[in-house]
Structure 1
């Protein structure tokens, strides 16, 4: 388990429960999501992402998302995680890489409000990994742990086992992402009924409750016009080999082991398009990807 924290509390802050109530009461479609990981640090890998899109009024699952993720930073899953989740190193060995999974998950969730149990962890873990793509998720986030504590301050606990038992459907198969999602979804629907029964007075206008469209990511055309390529250099440490590109808008690299592009630092307030960044540097250098690797790869 890495000792580095996954982002700052401020960077990935979760609303207080009272501020979640209008989002809960004024939407009917939600995505309940969960991650399984190798640990709690920025260096730790996401092993699995599961999610269900639900209609909270009918309590029906509209669509599901579930996939393993190939590890990027670890060779083996720690035994305590294997014991907890049942996920083995062999299970994720041939899974899609995290960049592919994150792209697909972002398409799945769109701008729909997200529900997590203990959202502070999952939201920070996902946010930290999305930095690899140069993007930031802007969905509304609801934490069922915070929401349950707000609705039932007298309750002796707020973990998922306690909450599902409280609402009459004790969880089975805990610590697998999509399984946790389904039980969290069932509990959340019960909490939403309790919120609706509170007959809240509107505190936000409908304009406030409609998801704001994302500002388009920086395009290749914009990069060609405004981006300056400052430095390209190969880097190697142990088995890790990368080619780093430094520009005025972002620092990014090509991972020669995984054969993927990653954003190291976004210097703008806009989302980046990793494919546009790759296209920009290759166009600016006048090289194919193969020639780029040959020219700038660190010595063996």
Structure 2
């Protein structure tokens, strides 16, 4: 659990500043679960440059509560939380100073979004909150006011959690939380899970990930784990201490993250790297007459396939439909073995490429249409899918046929700008598994939005 906050102060000498405004959002890693926002009477003068910067003046604070009047609420909302702030050393120092004046030892673990941003989003021109959020396309209002800055920090931190592929932030949080705050039984764990699409992480008592999975309904899938009677389910039930999750909105995002993170974390209850995710593929070659032929074969060949499949049967089913859709020859697609015309030629549904009657260029053009539709080789494009909220979309970036990564953007944001794209995209490895996952998803989802980049 995180307490994401921002504090405005009077300015002045070091450790003599007073708080003029505070905003705290309690954040569970997915949504805001509590909040506290208040002006504070600092009982001292505000520096003129601070008044100009924040717009907060002494008249506004005459009837505001003094710090001791809001201290209890601050303790309660930050209890068992990691404090998150942009330049957290400043905000944490100010809080500790105020509590010290009350004779109360205030101690919390902190995370700094400046430092996290420098690690997870390197080479940005500036890491000030205003410039950084603008570069990342994060909407911001009421700059230099506690509520506006705290809300922007929430949105930034949410993006940083998404970019933290090693899950270092989450693992750290699990260790910090008191044991009493972790669900004491499986039912309590289930009650805190959403029925949304995403990736889930099953942790043991040390915060280590012992299983990673993907589901269109996280809660339902965890129930299956916790009620399963097979050997793996029983072991998970004995070792599980908590379950964390990441909503992805898009099923494609969940599939890609699941595959990548199993390889990264190698949980003890996941199959080793899931190397057998596909077994067969569709390849192309040009025969002696110049016609492009298609053939299904095992996916272990050196050349790049057009598209991959989990079984030979699924490959054949796809090819039968493609032959009809693109009016191709059964013989030249390996579906009909003959030394003469194919069956479709006999029933006048084939133009005769099988017996060299159809012009090579005309036939090959239709084959290339199939290849262009189902392969993204050498393409620069975006795949856009549903996001985690109504106002959001997920974007997947492919450059020159190579999958670069994925990210989230607001519907009002212009994502075809390369500079903005590079900042919101979380890099992911391009490998045969990701190619298979993307191609299969594109094949199954006819209404998926594809944007060509120029």
Question: TM range, normalised to the smaller chain?
Answer: 0.5 to 0.7
Is the Cα–Cα contact under 8 Å of residues 127 and 137 in structure 1 kept in the other structure? yes
Deviations 1:248-281 (CA, angstroms, capped at 9, x unpaired): xxxxxxxxxxxxxxxxxxxxxxxxxxxxxxxxxx
Residue 172 in 1 paired to residue 144 in 2? no
Residue 146 in 1 paired to residue 115 in 2? yes
Residue 111 in 1 paired to residue 80 in 2? yes
Deviations 1:3-34 (CA, angstroms, capped at 9, x unpaired): xxxxxxxxxxxxxxxxxxxxxxxxxx321111
In 2, the alpha carbon distance for the partners of 1:96 and 1:35 equals 15
Deviations 1:169-208 (CA, angstroms, capped at 9, x unpaired): 242211110111111100100001111x2355998796x4
Structure ID, larger Rg: 2
In 1, the alpha carbon distance for the partners of 2:123 and 2:114 equals 14
CA RMSD of aligned residues (A): 2.4
TM-score (norm 2): 0.37
**CA distance 1:205–1:73, shift in 2 (3 Å):** closer
Partner of 1:198: 166
Is the Cα–Cα contact under 8 Å of residues 71 and 93 in structure 1 kept in the other structure? no
Deviations 1:37-62 (CA, angstroms, capped at 9, x unpaired): 011522221101111112323xx322
Partner of 1:273: none
In 1, the alpha carbon distance for the partners of 2:111 and 2:35 equals 19
Partner of 1:35: 7
In 1, the alpha carbon distance for the partners of 2:114 and 2:82 equals 16
Is the Cα–Cα contact under 8 Å of residues 43 and 73 in structure 1 kept in the other structure? no
1:212 deviation in Å? 7.3
Select 2:19's aligned residue among 46, 70, 73: 46
Structure 2 matches for 1:190-229, cutoff 5 A?
190-195=159-164, 197-198=165-166, 208-211=175-178
Paired residues, number? 179
1:211 deviation in Å? 3.1
Partner of 2:37: 66
Is the Cα–Cα contact under 8 Å of residues 81 and 177 in structure 2 kept in the other structure? no
Structure 2 matches for 1:235-246, cutoff 5 A?
none
Deviations 1:210-236 (CA, angstroms, capped at 9, x unpaired): 3378xxxxxxxxxxxxxxxxxxxxxxx
Residue 126 of structure 1 aligns to a residue whose secondary structure is helix
Partner of 1:18: none
**Structure 2 residues without counterparts, runs of 5 or longer:** 181-454
TM-score (norm 1): 0.55
**CA distance 1:160–1:128, shift in 2 (3 Å):** same
**CA distance 1:186–1:204, shift in 2 (3 Å):** closer
Is the Cα–Cα contact under 8 Å of residues 82 and 173 in structure 2 kept in the other structure? no
Residue 67 of structure 1 aligns to a residue whose secondary structure is strand
Is the Cα–Cα contact under 8 Å of residues 100 and 106 in structure 2 kept in the other structure? no
Residue 190 of structure 1 aligns to a residue whose secondary structure is helix
Deviations 1:138-169 (CA, angstroms, capped at 9, x unpaired): 22211000110111332221110122123212
Deviations 1:91-145 (CA, angstroms, capped at 9, x unpaired): 1111111111222211221121111001111111111111022222222211000
**CA distance 1:108–1:84, shift in 2 (3 Å):** same
**CA distance 1:128–1:64, shift in 2 (3 Å):** same
Structure 2 matches for 1:74-89, cutoff 5 A?
74=45, 77-89=46-58
Partner of 1:123: 92
